[in-house]
Amino acid sequence: MNEQQTIEALAWRILLCHKHPVSARLRFLIPSEAGVVLPQALPKLAVIAEQEQEAPVQCHPATALRCLQEALDIDWPLEPVGEFQLNMEVPGQILPVYLVALSGHELREPPPGTRWIDLPQSIGMPWLDRELLRRVYEVLIGFG
């Protein structure tokens, strides 16, 4: 990422998932090191923002998606999931978290520094990471 993209990357995060169109098996692409959002982890003091706290438009979701694809060096068919809306409160700002889904039946090979997980594999992760994945599950699968 160049310097401008790095600055923009601080203004949003993305959760990336794949929901199999037949089986509805849900998997998440996460960083290998820590956290569940891309392209970089949430700040340490991040908390889920109150519903009425809206993030100012800092970066359009399509721009964030394009930036993420460049950062991970992928050209996958990714689609934003508009039904998912989540903002994080971080020191000094409200940070939008976008959800994007990989289209198709097959998973792609994870880019270096990332891995695919199923929701049960999040057991043992910090509460906030599990909560973000649980919220995606509720939106995409509908149980809650």
Q: How far apart are CA 83 and CA 19, in angstroms?
A: 15
pLDDT of residue 52: 61
**φ, ψ at 107 (rounded to 5°):** -70, 155
Separation of CA 45 from chain center: 18
pLDDT of residue 72: 94
Q: How far apart are CA 8 and CA 20, in angstroms?
A: 31
pLDDT of residue 127: 95
Dump pLDDT digits (tens) for 121-141: 999 999 999 999 999 999 998
How many domains is the chain partitioned into structurally? 1
Q: How far apart are CA 32 and CA 73, in angstroms?
A: 16
For residue 11, what is the domain's CATH number? Answer: 3.90.79
Average pLDDT, 10 consecutive residues per value, the chain (144 residues): 46 93 91 93 90 66 90 94 90 90 93 95 95 94 72
pLDDT of residue 142: 79
pLDDT of residue 4: 43
pTM: 0.87
Give the residue numbers spanning the domain of 11.
3-141
